[in-house]
Copies of this chain bind each other. A is one copy, B any other.
Amino acid sequence: MSKSFEISAPDAQSPIGIFDSGVGGLTVYRALHNRLPNERFVYLGDTARVPYGTKSLATVERYAIENSQFLASRGIKLLVVACNTASALALPKIRAQIGIDVVGVIGPGARKAVEVTRRAANPRIAVIATEATVASNAYADSIMRAAKKTEVMQTACPLFVPLAEENWTHEPETRSIAEKYLNKIIEFAPNALVLGCTHYPILRDVIQQTVGKGVTLIDSGEATAEEVEKLLQKKGLFNAETLSYSHERSLCDDLDHFFVTDAADRFARVAERFLGAQPSKLEAVEVFGVDKLEKQKRF
């Protein structure tokens, strides 16, 4: 049996696939949903193996490929890798395995930051992300490819993820921790600050207050939604038709399908905190490598 999936070619009506290591990618889903209200989404949160940010290259690659194959088997027209760590480490491997367009969050975030700082005399861009994303240097590399003369500073902010999941968005402790983490970035005085982890937009207000109004915050999810829109138009896969539904389209409605690899109840709870709504369609699944997946499909 061949390794490719025997699925009819996707068209404009096919859904967009999104995967993340867990709940953080819901901020990317929100950005895509807001920008592309005619599209349907299939979201996979790999909650059985979250977090990716402290794991090795080989492990992140393996998990990312398994997730991508699961979504490819659902007939998606385009794959968004919402996880910054997987975008930083695994895009080439995913592209080599999957026969559809793949968009990560790092390239769009980096390019958006370059775009908004283009007019500055000495452009300076700061990036906050997980340990693994910072260590990969993916944002810095991507920024330097787009604009060589830019100065870049990167900082890991590990506590921001649990603070976002606790929904401590305005607590004084969160502000104090933000001041500690962003201290050097404030001295660096960047023109733009990239929120290089999908959880960080949840803490957007406290981050903006800490670095000051003069710094433009870049939400990589929003930048990604812009690039996805352009790519769909270029490929003739943009859905121009309004989706047929009786009520107004809303986040987490039954046109979007959510899958998690574990603990669906916790995912639903955090989705409520992040999006103000729980997924209408939420399923727990096991994500396998290509061989087992083909077996699943055959029987």
Q: Spell out A's residues near B (CB within 8 Å).
A: 47-50, 54-56, 59, 131, 158-159, 161-163, 165-166, 171-173, 176-177, 180, 262-263, 266, 284
Contact = CB atoms under 8 A, between A and B. Distances in A.
Nearest to A175: B173
A264 B59 CA distance: 12
A50 B166 CA distance: 18
Nearest to A168: B159
A55 B158 contact: no
Contacts of A177: 173
Number of copies: 2
Given A48-B49, A158-B162, A173-B180, 20 more contacts: A47-B55, A48-B55, A49-B49, A54-B263, A54-B266, A55-B263, A56-B262, A56-B263, A59-B262, A131-B266, A158-B165, A158-B166, A159-B159, A159-B162, A159-B163, A161-B162, A171-B180, A172-B176, A173-B177, A176-B176
Contacts of A284: 56
A262 B55 contact: yes
A172 to B, nearest CB: 7
Among A47, A173, A180, A284, find the residue whose CB has the most chain B CB atoms closer than 10 A: A173
Contacts of A54: 47, 50, 263, 266
